[in-house]
Amino acid sequence: MIEANYLVIGSGIAGLTFSVKIAKRFPDRNVVIVTKGNEDESNTKYAQGGVAIVLNREKDSFKKHIEDTLIAGDGLCNEDVVEMVIKEGPNRLQELMIWGANFDVDSSGDFDLGKEGGHSEYRVVHHKDITGYEVERALLKRAHQLSNITILSHHFAIDLVTNHHIKNSEQKELSCYGAYVLDEKTGKIFTIIANNTLLATGGIGCVYGHTTNPVIATGDGIAMAYRAKAKIKDMEFVQFHPTALYEAKGESSFLISEAVRGFGAYLRNKSGYRFMPDYDKRAELASRDIVSQSIDNELKKSGETHVYLDCTHLNIDAFKKHFPNIYKACLEHHIDIKTDWIPVIPASHYLCGGIKVNKKGETTITNLFACGECSRTGLHGANRLASNSLLEALVYAHNIFKYHSKKEAKPFELVIPEWNDEGTIIPKEHVLVQHNLKQLQALMRDYVGIVRSNKRLKRAIKHLDLIYNEVEELYRESKITTSLCELRNMVNVAHLIIRQSLDRTENKGGYYNIDNVKK
């Protein structure tokens, strides 16, 4: 059993930013970061395009960034939140740079700003095409310099500890007291008792087989919060990125950044026709929901498997300078962007919804906070504007820090029961987990994709119920493993996506159901 003033679950931009700030403010309090896999493995590490921040106040303005965010969110953003996040951007970037993160500048020393879909101005601060890698590197380095931060990597948070776990608890208000954690190397499960718990567990991309996300993106925090009875909102708004590299064999997840379209690349169908101007006057730089839905429509019309991104007309030396990683990845796939078009298709990329929080990052459970992609702040509405995610995580980590920076430390009073795994056995049938996972991902691809219908959603719920029962049975009988818990979490997340999709009767942003189209 470990006692922590602050338990942080997740070591991406959200978890690390909060940890670094609170540990510096209170050197006498301890921060325990629990993270599955290697400490740097996260969606953050793979972020390419950058961070959307208004820096050039001659050409750009907060007002324009706010407008672009609201338009992308299609009427469902919380306008106060949008304004607060965007206006905080420059301060948060400054802080990140003080901690050692580097961003590209042009020959005159000004930030080299990129552009992405839905942005009316150049405002995306970046580190080549590996912005997330640079941010993760700098934050981890800073976290290691603070002696009151302990990072437990290869540790998997299974479930939150709440009143429900405490026998004869008289407390009426639903509260969180920490989490049960699996040491992935020893298989031992122990309790971390915490005065404050922050869920910073990232996205859900792996619920779909074809995703730009790394394998850690299994929606664990959202599922844990849901089981603990926190409010979860806007789960129907799964964002599909228009341009993941297409591979005939297997399901490639490599992203071709939207900034490549901001740099001037065109989308073409197999016959070479540049189709985006037919769908939106912003053409390739329409917001992500529109570009993905347009590609989906083109593919349905033609029966083809993918479309193409054409960079052949661009300045190749400048391209290589801004996008060295994408250039290299294409060459590794035998695509020379000087002469070849890049085959691309949409892939699941980001979840606009998640654990409902207020401006202080508080969930509907006392002492439980959420930040980053697992949270639903109201910034993104029905569709996230490109490069607003890293920004949101930075701003909310700061807000949660500010809230805690005035609070007294509390004593650890409760006796929390240890994890009980009596009667469970070592799972011999790993094949069952793999099989259920494949079934789940196929179901989400076929019935809960870019374009949905009530019939497909209802069928999805029926099939999901079968998978749910099988997985729950395995979970009850087996000794806990990460892959089994992740599958259980993904089943919970899929359930939330489908149920909340069925509840939505109006198409908005990234949500498109053919039965909601007004005849």
Which residues of this chain interact with ligand SIN, rule CB under 6 A?
Answer: 48-49, 257-259, 350, 386-387, 389
Contact 156, 181 (CB under 8 A): yes
Residue with Cβ nearer ligand SIN (178 or 343): 343
Spell out the residues 6+ positions from residue 363 whose beta carbon is closer than 8 angstroms to its own: 199, 225, 230, 231, 355, 356, 357, 369, 370
Residue with Cβ nearer ligand FAD (46 or 246): 46
β-pairing, 176-183 with 189-199? antiparallel
**Of ligand FAD, ligand SIN, none, which one does residue 17 interact with (CB within 5 to 8 Å by kind)?**
none
Residue with Cβ nearer ligand SIN (53 or 193): 53
Whole-angstrom Cα distance, residue 35 to residue 29?
Answer: 20
**Of ligand SIN, ligand FAD, none, which one does residue 37 interact with (CB within 5 to 8 Å by kind)?**
ligand FAD
Task: Using alpha carbons, select from 249, 260, 247 the residue that is nearest to residue 326.
Answer: 260
**Of ligand SIN, ligand FAD, none, which one does residue 401 interact with (CB within 5 to 8 Å by kind)?**
none
Question: By beta-carbon distance, which residue lies closest to ligand SIN?
Answer: 49
CB of 487 to ligand FAD, least distance (A): 12
Residue with Cβ nearer ligand SIN (253 or 387): 387
Please list the residues that pair with 111 across neighbouring strands. Answer: 105
CB of 96 to ligand SIN, least distance (A): 16
CB of 199 to ligand FAD, least distance (A): 9
Catalytically active residues, by annotation: 288
What residues line the site for ligand FAD (CB under 6 A)? 9-15, 34-37, 41-44, 46-51, 131-132, 156-157, 200-203, 212-213, 216, 220-221, 255, 350, 372-373, 387-390, 393
Give the DSSP H/E element, type plus range, for residue 297.
helix 288-302
Per-residue 3-state assignment (H helix, E strand, C coil) for 354-367: EEECCCCCECCCEC
Give the DSSP H/E element, type plus range, for residue 369.
strand 368-370
Residue with Cβ nearer ligand FAD (44 or 513): 44
CB of 384 to ligand SIN, least distance (A): 7
**Of ligand FAD, ligand SIN, none, which one does residue 201 interact with (CB within 5 to 8 Å by kind)?**
ligand FAD
Whole-angstrom Cα distance, residue 164 to residue 5?
Answer: 21
Cα 17 to Cα 6, 24, 98, 138, 358: the distances in Å are 13, 11, 13, 10, 18
**Of ligand SIN, ligand FAD, none, which one does residue 35 interact with (CB within 5 to 8 Å by kind)?**
ligand FAD
CB of 58 to ligand FAD, least distance (A): 24
Whole-angstrom Cα distance, residue 279 to residue 292?
Answer: 11
Q: Give 3-state DSSP helix, strand, coil % of the chain, rounded to 5.
A: 40, 20, 40
